[in-house]
Homo-oligomer: A and B are copies of this chain.
Amino acid sequence: MGSQLTSVSVFAPATVANVGSAFDVLGLALEAPGDTATIRRTPEPGIRIADISGDGGRLPRDTEKNTAGVSVAALLTHLKKSDFHSYAPVGMDISLEKGLPIGSGLGSSSASTVAAVVAANELLGSPLSRQELLPFAMEGERIACGAAHADNVAPCLLGGFVLIRSYKPLDIITLPSPRDIWLAIISPALELCTSDARRVLKRSVTLESAVSQWGNVAALVAGIYKNDITLMGRALEDTIIEPERAALIPGYQAAKDAALATGAAGCSISGSGPSLFALCHSEQRAHDANKAMEQAFSAAGISSKQYVSRVNQTGARVMERE
Listed in ascending order, the chain A residues whose CB lies under 8 Å from chain B are 21-26, 163-166, 171, 173, 175, 201-208, 210-222, 225, 231, 234-235, 237, 240
Query: Chain B residues near A231 (CB, 8 Å)?
Result: 173
Other A-B pairs, 14, CB within 8 Å; known A204-B207, A221-B222: A22-B214, A23-B211, A24-B211, A24-B215, A26-B218, A163-B218, A165-B235, A166-B215, A171-B219, A171-B234, A173-B219, A210-B214, A217-B218, A221-B225
A203 close to B207 (CB less than 8 A): yes
Q: How far is the CA of A86 from the CA of B266 in the complex (A)?
A: 42
A-B interface, 3 closest residue pairs, ranked by CB to CB distance from nearest:
A165-B219, A25-B215, A214-B214
Asked if A205 and B214 sit within 8 Å, CB to CB, the answer is no
Q: What is the chain B residue whose CB lies nearest that of A165?
A: B219
Q: Which of B173, B201, B217, B240 contacts A217 (CB 8 A)?
A: B217
Contact B216 A207 (CB under 8 A): no
A-B contact pairs, 25 of them (CB 8 A): A22-B214, A22-B218, A23-B214, A24-B215, A25-B214, A25-B218, A163-B215, A163-B222, A165-B218, A166-B215, A166-B237, A173-B219, A173-B222, A173-B231, A175-B222, A201-B207, A202-B207, A203-B208, A205-B207, A205-B210, A210-B213, A213-B214, A214-B218, A217-B218, A218-B218
- A42 CB to closest chain B CB (Å) equals 41
Q: Which residues of B contact A212 (CB under 8 A)?
A: 166
**Using Cβ atoms and an 8 Å threshold, which residues of chain B touch A25?**
211, 214-215, 218
Contact: A164 with B225, CB < 8 Å?
no
Known: A165-B235, A218-B163. A206 touches B207 (CB 8 A): no
- Which residue on B lies nearest to A21, using beta carbons? B214
- How many identical chains are in the complex? 2
- CB pair A220–B219 under 8 Å, yes or no, is no
Residues from chain B with Cβ under 8 Å of A210 in the complex:
205, 210, 213-214, 240
Collect the chain B residues with CB atoms within 8 Å of residue A240's CB: 207, 210
Smallest distance from the beta carbon of A125 to chain B beta carbons, Å? 32
Q: Which residues of B contact A22 (CB under 8 A)?
A: 214, 218
- Across-interface contacts of A206 in B (CB, < 8 A): 203-205
Contacts of A225 in B (CB 8 A): 221-222, 225
Residues on B with C-beta less than 8 A from A234 are 165, 171
| A236 CB, nearest partner CB in chain B, Å | 11
Q: Point out the residues of chain B lying under 8 angstroms from A219, CB to CB.
A: 163, 165, 171, 173
A47 nearest CB across to chain B (Å): 34
Q: How far is the CA of A166 from the CA of B219 in the complex (A)?
A: 10
Cβ of A205 to closest chain B Cβ, rounded Å = 5
A104 CB to closest chain B CB (Å) equals 23
- In Å, the complex CA distance between A222 and B222 comes to 8
Residues of B within 8 A of A21 (CB): 214
For the complex formed, measure the closest distance between the CB of A183 and the CB atoms of chain B, giving whole angstroms: 20
